[in-house]
């Protein structure tokens, strides 16, 4: 469980996040949604400590991350995995070396145990045959899978995904969403996903936070979202006419 309390973040004069409070549950896919530029990436990076926040508190299973020393933070980070918007694979390493990197850096496993863990993760994301390729030789969808495999190789307790299916076709997006969802449930991780994709929201939105201009605007789950009275959320959701039709159909029935 990750809890944020009254979080504020600004860059120089510009206030990007204003008074965000939210609990993200374990074993659920927690979504942060909002339009482009609303502050999703900044919020996610603030939660993991890549941005220093101005005010507020971040608790990882009641451990106060905000007031932690650099050393303790580093230790806590070994319980985190993150999938970045562009994949952020190390392009000097092969797919397999990318996934093994955290193990090489931190684990005390023997080489064969490491290999087993790497193979397990590759299997988990369905790319068992790409291990010797370099990141420049694989497609965008595969990069995302490799990034997910690398993020889960240390058996993290917390998984963060910044727009895991941006730039992917709808079918692949769905596969990636389901993959993250099943990993979250199977391994009982606390997962936070940034997205502006309504398909993902309807598919895996267990616990949703909607932010608009850096302010929290609405929270709930995918069942509530189509019936929202919130003006800003309606604009976001029904920007895609498809969902208007789905809602109207449901209401008519």
Partner 1 sequence: MNIFNQTGKYFALLLKVFSKPERHSLYVKQTFNEIENLGVNSVGIVTVISIFMGGIITLQVAYNMTNPLLPTYLIGLGNRDTLILEFSSTILALIMAGKIGSNITSEIGSMKVTEQIDSLEIMGVNSASYLILPKIIAVVMMFPLLYILSVFFGLIGGMIVGPAVGAVTVTDYLNGVQYLFNPYYITFSLIKCLVFGFLIASISAFFGYTVEGGAFDVGSASTRAVVNTNIMILVWDLILTQLLL
Ligand X SMILES: Nc1ncnc2c1ncn2[C@@H]1O[C@H](COP(=O)(O)OP(=O)(O)OP(=O)(O)O)[C@@H](O)[C@H]1O
Q: By CB under 8 A, name the binding residues for partner 1.
A: 45, 48, 50, 74-75, 77-78, 80-82, 84-86, 88-91, 101-102, 104-106, 154, 160
**Smaller CB distance to partner 1: residue 74 or 227?**
74
The site string for ligand X over 38-57 (x = CB under 6 A, - otherwise) reads xxxxx---------------
Question: Of 35, 128, 48, nearest to 84 (Cα)?
Answer: 48
Residue 13 interacts with ligand X (CB under 6 A)? no
Computed on alpha carbons and rounded to an integer, the radius of gyration of the chain in Å comes to 19
In whole angstroms, the minimum distance from the beta carbon of 193 to ligand X comes to 12
Q: Closest residue (Cβ) to Mg ion?
A: 41
Candidates 18-26, 33-41, 63-71, 168-176; binding stretch for ligand X (CB under 6 A)? 33-41
Answer yes or no whether residue 196 interacts with ligand X by CB under 6 A. Answer: yes
Q: Which is nearer to ligand X, 35 or 247 (CB)?
A: 35
Q: Does 87 participate in binding ligand X (rule CB under 6 A)?
A: no
Give the C-alpha separation, 180 to 156, whole Å.
13
DSSP-derived 3-state class of residue 196: coil
Report the residue from 29, 38, 41, 200 that binds Mg ion according to the rule CB under 5 A: 41
Residues 6+ apart with CB under 8 A from 116: none
CA distance 161 to 147: 10
Q: Which is nearer to partner 1, 88 or 202 (CB)?
A: 88
Query: 41 Cβ partners below 8 Å, 6+ apart?
Result: 85, 162, 194
Of 26 and 196, CB closest to ligand X: 196
- Cα–Cα distance measured from residue 24 to residue 219, given in angstroms and rounded to the nearest whole number: 11
Coil, helix or strand at residue 239: coil
The residues pairing with 81 across neighbouring beta strands, listed in sequence order, are 159
CB within 8 Å of 63: residues ≥ 6 apart = 76
Residue 34 in contact with ligand X, rule: CB under 6 A: yes
Q: Smallest gap, in angstroms, from Cβ of residue 149 to partner 1? A: 13
Which tokens go with 178?
């389901």
Query: Is residue 44 classed as helix, strand or coil in its secondary structure?
Result: helix
Nearest distance from C-beta of residue 92 to Mg ion, angstroms: 25
Minimum CB distance to Mg ion, residue 46 (Å):
12
| Measured distance between the N- and C-terminal CA atoms of the chain, rounded to whole angstroms | 38
Name the residue nearer to ligand X (CB basis): 16 or 189: 16
- Cβ proximity to partner 1: between 45 and 232 the closer is 45
With binding defined as CB under 5 A, does residue 38 bind Mg ion?
no
- Which residue in this structure is represented by tokens 């969902």? 243
Q: Looking only at residues 44 through 103 of this chain, which bind Mg ion when binding is defined by CB under 5 A?
A: none
CA dihedral 9, 160, 31, 205 (to 10 degrees): -170
Which residues make up the interface to ligand X (CB under 6 A)?
A: 11, 14, 16, 34, 36-42, 196
Which residues make up the interface to Mg ion (CB under 5 A)?
A: 41
């Amino acid at each position: 469980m990750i809890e944020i309390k009254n979080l504020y973040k600004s860059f120089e004069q510009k206030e990007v996040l204003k008074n965000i409070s939210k609990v993200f549950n374990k074993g659920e896919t927690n979504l942060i949604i909002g339009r482009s530029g609303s502050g999703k990436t900044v919020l996610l990076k603030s939660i993991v400590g890549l941005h220093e926040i101005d005010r507020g508190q971040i608790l990882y299973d009641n451990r106060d991350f905000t007031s932690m020393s650099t050393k303790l933070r580093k230790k806590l980070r070994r319980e985190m995995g993150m999938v970045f918007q562009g994949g952020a694979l190390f392009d000097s390493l092969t797919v397999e070396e990318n996934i093994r990197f955290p193990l090489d850096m931190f684990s005390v496993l023997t080489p064969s145990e490491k290999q087993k863990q790497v193979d397990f993760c590759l299997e988990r994301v369905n790319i068992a045959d790409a291990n010797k390729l370099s990141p420049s030789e694989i497609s965008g969808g595969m990069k995302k899978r490799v990034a997910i495999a690398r993020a889960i190789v240390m058996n993290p307790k917390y998984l963060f995904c910044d727009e895991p299916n941006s730039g992917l076709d709808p079918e692949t997006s769905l596969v990636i969403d389901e993959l993250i969802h099943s990993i979250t449930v199977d391994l009982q991780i606390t997962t936070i996903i940034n997205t502006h994709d309504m398909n993902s929201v309807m598919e895996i939105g267990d616990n949703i936070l909607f932010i608009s201009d850096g302010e929290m605007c609405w929270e709930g789950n995918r069942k509530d979202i189509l019936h929202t009275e919130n003006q800003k959320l309606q604009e976001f959701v029904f920007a895609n006419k498809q969902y208007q039709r789905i809602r109207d159909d449901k209401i008519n029935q």
